[in-house]
Structure 1
Amino acid sequence: MHNVRIKQINTMVEQCQDDASAAQLDFNFEGTWRTNSDQVQFSGDVQFPQGELTLNADFPPFLGGEGRAPSALTYCFYGAMSCYGSTFATQAAMAGVRLDAMTISLKLGVDFRTALGVGDFPPMTGFKFNVKVKSDASDVDIQKVKELTDERCPAIWAMQNPVPFTTAATKVN
């Protein structure tokens, strides 16, 4: 249904009832900071089930880059938007709500003063997702899908819950 393979999802739901690890993915990324000014600042490969892709990132000029590639935050925000949109489409399919077309937008602002060492300021305004769907479904059904998406989207969960992290820095020769 609307490019969501519902049979695969239903199979996974059944598997998860017997094996919680069936729906868990581990991600391991590695990237390289480029010290040559002729290159974008950062590059790394990501793998996915049908291939691999090299992603490049470059800060905008006011943060010391050249703006030759999307910034790291651009990828982060695109990821959040894509996650919310994908979750919306999936929840609609699982609920039997057909989508004939869907677009999503994300708006937010970023204040870089803290990153620039100017002071301690909240770095981001709120995320404003806006989903527009073309569907024969009722407004009530669309709002139910939105509620399910708000409850089940991993990006929304990560914004609402502190995610533990660790950092390490090691000098190498």
Structure 2
Amino acid sequence: MHNVNTDAVAATAAAAAASPEAVLQPVVLSGEWQVSDSEPQFTAMIPYPGGQVEFRCDFPEPMGGGGRAPNPLAYCMWGGVACYAMSFALEAAREGVPLRALRGEVSTTVDMSRALGVSDRPPVEKLTWTLHVDCDADPATLDRLKSLADDRCPGAYCISNPIPLETRLG
């Protein structure tokens, strides 16, 4: 339904209920700093089941980059709203609610002063994720789907809950 394989979702949920370890997915991603002034600053090949895609990012000029690619926070913010929109679409499919269209939007204000070492202010104080949904569902159904997405979206969880960060030199 609307590009969600509900049979696969049901099978995966059943496997997780039987054995939580069945849905653990180790993730290791790496990227390379580019020393050439003509390239975006950081690049990576990100694998997915059907192949791989190149991610390129560059700081904007005020942060010392050339603005030749999206900045790292743009990927982070886009990834979050993408995860949320996809979670909403998944829950709609599981509930049998067909979507004609779904668009996700993220908005915030970024304060670069901390990254520049001139303040302790947070870079972002709030993210707003807005979903624009085109379907025939009534408001109560949409609210229920939103609540399910709020509760189950991995991206929302990662942003809303402290996750230990370990940094290392290798």
What TM-score does the superposition give when structure 1 sets the normalisation length? 0.95
Q: How far apart are the structure 2 equivalents of 1:18 and 1:104?
A: 33
Q: How far apart are the structure 2 equivalents of 1:123 and 1:61?
A: 17
1:16 corresponds to 2:32? no
Q: CA deviation at 1:125?
A: 2.8
1:89-168 alignment runs, 5 A limit: 89-168=89-168
Q: How far apart are the structure 2 equivalents of 1:122 and 1:53?
A: 31
What stretches of structure 1 move > 6 A for 4+ residues in a row?
none
The one-letter amino acid paired with 1:8 is A
Match of 1:40 in 2: 40
Q: How far apart are the structure 2 equivalents of 1:43 and 1:135?
A: 38
Q: How far apart are the structure 1 equivalents of 2:132 and 2:15?
A: 33
Q: How far apart are the structure 2 equivalents of 1:39 and 1:17?
A: 46
Any unmatched runs of 5+ in structure 1? none
Q: How far apart are the structure 1 equivalents of 2:161 and 2:48?
A: 26
Q: CA deviation at 1:62?
A: 0.3
1:59-78 alignment runs, 5 A limit: 59-78=59-78
Deviation per residue, 1:8-65 (Å, 9 max, x gap)? 1011111112221222211101111111212211111110000011111111000001
Q: How far apart are the structure 1 equivalents of 2:102 and 2:24?
A: 27
The one-letter amino acid paired with 1:21 is E
1:79 corresponds to 2:79? yes
Q: CA deviation at 1:132?
A: 1.3
What root-mean-square deviation, in Å, do the aligned CA atoms of Structure 1 and Structure 2 show?
Answer: 1.0
Q: How far apart are the structure 2 equivalents of 1:27 and 1:138?
A: 38
Identity of aligned residues (%): 33
Deviation per residue, 1:94-114 (Å, 9 max, x gap)? 122211111111101110101
Q: How far apart are the structure 2 equivalents of 1:40 and 1:130?
A: 30
What TM-score does the superposition give when structure 2 sets the normalisation length? 0.96
The one-letter amino acid paired with 2:46 is V
- After TM superposition, the structure 1 stretch with the greater mean CA deviation from structure 2, 13-22 or 3-12, is 13-22
